[in-house]
Amino acid sequence: MKVTAELCETIAMKSSQDMLERMPSWISGNISKADQPLLIGLTLLLKPVKVVEIGVASGWSGCLFIDALQKNNNNAEYIGVDFSQQYFLDSTKETGSAIAQLFPESDVKKRLLLGGYAIDYIDDIGKGVDLAFIDGDHKHPWAILDLLSLLPVLSPDAYVLIHDINLSTYIRHEQAYRGPKYLFECWPLEKIHSSQVLTMIGAIKLPSSIEGSLLTTLLNTVYTPWEINVDVSVLNKIARSISQNYGNEWGQRFQAAFHKMNLSKENNVGNFDFIESLIRVVSQHPRSISHLNMLQSAEPVFPQSSKLQHHISVLHYRNNNLEKAIDHSLRAVKIDGANAHYISFLGELYLRTNDIVKAEAYLSEAVRLQDNVAIFHYRLALALEKSERIKDSFISANRASDLAPGNVDFSELLSRLKNHPNLR
């Protein structure tokens, strides 16, 4: 039987919906309901006996795996690997808490390996991994480093799911977080991806044996400019693993690539952007008060940084402080009144406070400045819907859907508006 994305999504639809109904309310930052069916369907089709996930976070995707593995009923094992001991969006919860909450008892063996990288736990994982999921750090080269770490324990013809393939295309990320995209697009062998446009989840299939041509492709992708500095000790472990499993020459080649491409202050002094670097650190802890304070401490030094003001606003918003979020968002727009992204975000904040007049004004201005961003039209459509301007809302929602066909949220809004009596 040939594995296709359509087949995976079809057989997984009911399981996906059933699991969504069980999702704890505290979970966020997880894979979307558009991504779930491919993950679940692939698990149901392949009937793997050992699944490894890199990037556990709340544990929601781990729950999806465990539910599917239970349905397979073949004494399978789930192993989750995460560098963080705490859930990155809520430090009061341990990483993987959803698994313990939803599956306190299960026929599926469950292990969480926390506090290290995949390469640190290769012996604990052991061989025989026939399905893996890479959803850890999305900055290049981490996705490919995670694959290189797992390569020796992956079974012949195993599948590896990759998440956030097109995360870098989101305006707010400014073309960053390209690791998953590089890995998926470089893969020269069989691969599938979800039906969503733009897709966020895909899967690559390993060959029966690892040949030099594949290692060459992976090596060439490693030479793509890196977005983040990586601990040298981790790189050394990965290079040693490559040497042990594929020969010293390949280990030396990858070691040379790691040494040449690894970012450092010394080789990037001319391009060092303090605000950007600070924001990247803080964005990994979006609900941390101490990290919010880090951004605020930079205000006196960089009083005219619209980017700084915008990201302080975002953190206040994520911490449910709308008043302060609006205050800093207004400052960002005052400094850079032509930035459509900042203006649209300010409109969304006013929408959250039900100040529909101001929300419409800012959201309309963002669309006027930049008409080709789907989320701008979607936010405006929501504001127009709240003010009972259903026909105008439908036009904006339709534009959002045209710009990003397949987006589940946009489709749901369109469907709701089509059935509204004021549209007829």
Q: Kindly report, residue by residue over 210-248, the tens digit of the pLDDT.
A: 999 999 999 999 998 898 899 889 999 999 999 999 999
Separation CA 402–CA 386 (nearest Å): 22
Quick one: residue 96, left, alpha or beta (phi over 0 = left, psi -120 to 50 = alpha)?
Answer: left
Half-sphere exposure of 151 (CA within 13 A, CB side): 23
Separation CA 399–CA 371 (nearest Å): 9
pLDDT of 318: 87
Burial label for 377, CB within 10 Å (0-12, 13-18, 19+), is buried
Give the pLDDT band (50/70/90) at residue 338. confident
Q: What percent of the chain has pLDDT over 90?
A: 69
The total number of residues shown for the chain amounts to 424
Separation CA 2–CA 45 (nearest Å): 10
Is the per-residue pLDDT at 23 higher than 70? yes
pLDDT of 239: 95
Model pTM above 0.85: no
Lowest mean per-residue pLDDT among 49-53, 88-92, 266-270, 385-389:
266-270
pLDDT of 270: 38
pLDDT of 266: 40
pLDDT of 175: 76
CB 6 within 8 A of CB 195: yes
Give the pLDDT band (50/70/90) at residue 413. confident
Look up residue 26 and give its two tokens.
């505290």
Q: What percent of the chain has pLDDT over 70?
A: 93
CB 225 within 8 A of CB 241: no
CB 88 within 8 A of CB 128: no
Separation CA 82–CA 118 (nearest Å): 8
Which residues does 8 contact at the CB level (< 8 Å), separation at least 6?
37, 38, 40, 41, 42, 44, 45, 192
pLDDT of 268: 41
- Residue 322 or 29, more confident: 322
Mean pLDDT to the nearest integer, 302-322: 88
Taking Cα atoms as reference points, which of 159, 201, 147 lies closest to residue 46?
159
Q: Is the peptide bond before 141 cis (omega within 30 degrees of 0)?
A: yes
> Angle formed by the axes of helices 142-150 and 232-246, to 10°?
40
